[in-house]
Amino acid sequence: MAPRAARLGVPLALAGLVLVAGVLIPGFLSPANLTTILLHVSINGIIALGCTFVIITAGIDLSVGSVVGLAGVLTAATLTSGTVLRVAGPGGAAVVAGLVGIAAGAAVGLLNGGVVAKLGVAPFIVTLATMTAARGAARLVTGGVPIGFPDPGDPLYERKIAALDALHAVGGGRIPVPGLPNGFPVPALVMLALVATGAFVLVRTRFGRHVYAVGGNEEASRLAGVAVGRIKLGTYAICGAGAGLAAVLLVGQLRSGGPDAGMLYELNAIAAAVIGGTSLFGGVGTAWGALTGALLIGVLNNGLDLLGVQSFWQEIAKGVIILLAVLFDVWMKRADARRRARAARI
């Protein structure tokens, strides 16, 4: 799906970066540190995976950060709701809250996709609008303060704590693995499973093929009978649901849902997708690329952290990497065009 050099370039850059960091920074390659990186990457990796679907169709979703906020407060509100706790118990509440978070994200995604596909409004504008509105809704739901940890005087105090703990087992839990002192973080496991699933969907299913086709040439796809609108709708729904799931994991991790959570996450996710080789022009991108891009950002942040580099410099470094990735994309496209012109002349 992507030019060969683009497929190899970013994984090589990631390997190089890991190697350099391993040599320069003592402790970087320790299992504990590597799993920490995976944990830190997982939220962004999941959102980036969803965004990759949208970007392959030549769309964009700016609303995912706000969706993390909105889905997060709805998750936390459900988790600590007296009614839900009484009916379902703490464990049941955790399940219901998780589903609510994912559904809320998917709903915003469906709204985005519906307006983009049926009304033909530019995705940038549509998702800019939902980005603003979802953030407002999140603040409206909570009155501006985080939902989560109960007051000590709360009659349901113990149950609420139990429910928060139940979701924390997913968002902040670790699975014991021999050789790993702290075990393997559950969110990282979720991310890896989703990336593998995403890769399967993109490469092996009819839906995935249509996603690439729509992004590669929308008109040709339409004339070939591809249900372009439905495909786009699907990608935005996937993207929204991904952001919803990320919100659930975040609430579990932090034991609370704040209306301002997920601020600027959309930019990190788009950056990861683009660094991973997904083209903003559409038609090109992979699930593993999203993971690679997210890892690259994560390794960079972690390495600079360990080196004691100021966070301001980290931001600058990330900016440079994004620019390089986009330049690489543009350069590959030109080389591609030249190659096509040459081949067609034969």
Partner 1 sequence: MTPPAPSPTPAPPLLALRAVTKRFPGVVALDAVDFDAHAGRVHALVGENGAGKSTLLKVVAGAERPDAGTLALGGAPVSFGAPRDALSAGVTVMYQELSLVPQLRADANIFLGMEPGRHGLLDRHAAAARAGEVLRSLGADFDPATPAGDLSVAEQQLVELARALVRDARLIALDEPTAALSLVETDRLFEQVRRLCARGIAVIFVSHRLEEVRRIADEITVLRDGRRVFAGPAAGIDDAGLIRHMVGRDVEYARLGAARGAPGAPLLEVRSLGSRGRFSDVSLAVRRGEIVGLAGLVGAGRTEVARCLAGADPHDAGAMALAGAPYRPASPREAIARGVVFLPEDRKTQGLVLGMNVRENVTLAALGRFARRGVIRARAEREAATRQTRAVELRPPDIEREAGTLSGGNQQKVVLAKWLLVDADVLIFDEPTRGVDVAAKAELHQLIRGLADAGKAVVVISSELPEILALADRVVVMREGRVSGELPAAGATAEGILALALPASHAA
Tell me the β-bridge partners of 177. Answer: 180
Taking CB under 8 A as the rule, does residue 219 contact partner 1? yes
Near partner 1 by CB under 8 A: residue from 12, 125, 205, 316: 205
CA distance 228 to 210: 8
204 binds partner 1 (CB under 8 A): yes
264 scored as a contact of partner 1 (CB under 8 A): no
- The yes or no reply on residue 344 touching partner 1 (CB under 8 A) is yes
244 Cβ partners below 8 Å, 6+ apart?
Answer: 67, 71, 101, 102, 103, 104, 105, 106
Q: Is 336 in the site for partner 1 (CB under 8 A)?
A: yes
Whether the CB-CB separation of 121 and 114 falls below 8 Å is answered with: no
Q: Interface with partner 1 includes 125 (CB under 8 A)? A: no
**Paired tokens of 38:** 């995976």
Is residue 341 part of the contact set for partner 1 (CB under 8 A)? Answer: yes
| Nearest by Cα to 283 from 57, 6, 113 | 57
Site for partner 1 contains 15 (CB under 8 A)? no
Q: What one-character DSSP code corresponds to residue 264?
A: T
Nearer to partner 1, 184 or 207 (CB): 207
Q: Are 50 and 274 in contact (CB under 8 A)?
A: no
Nearer to partner 1, 157 or 200 (CB): 200
Greatest CA span in the chain, whole angstroms? 81
Nearer to partner 1, 86 or 340 (CB): 340
Contact set for partner 1, span 265-304 (CB under 8 A): 283-284
Task: Check binding of 224 to partner 1 (CB under 8 A).
Answer: yes
- Asked if 338 is part of the footprint of partner 1 (rule: CB under 8 A), the reply reads no
Instruction: Tell me the site size for partner 1, rule CB under 8 A.
Output: 30
What are residue 184's phi and psi, to 5 degrees? -105, 125
Asked if 168 touches partner 1 (CB under 8 A), the answer is no
Q: Name the pairing type of β-strands 180-185 and 174-177.
A: antiparallel
Q: 3-class SS at 176?
A: strand
The contact set with partner 1 (CB under 8 A) reads 1, 204-207, 209-210, 212-213, 216-217, 219-227, 283-284, 336, 339-341, 343-346
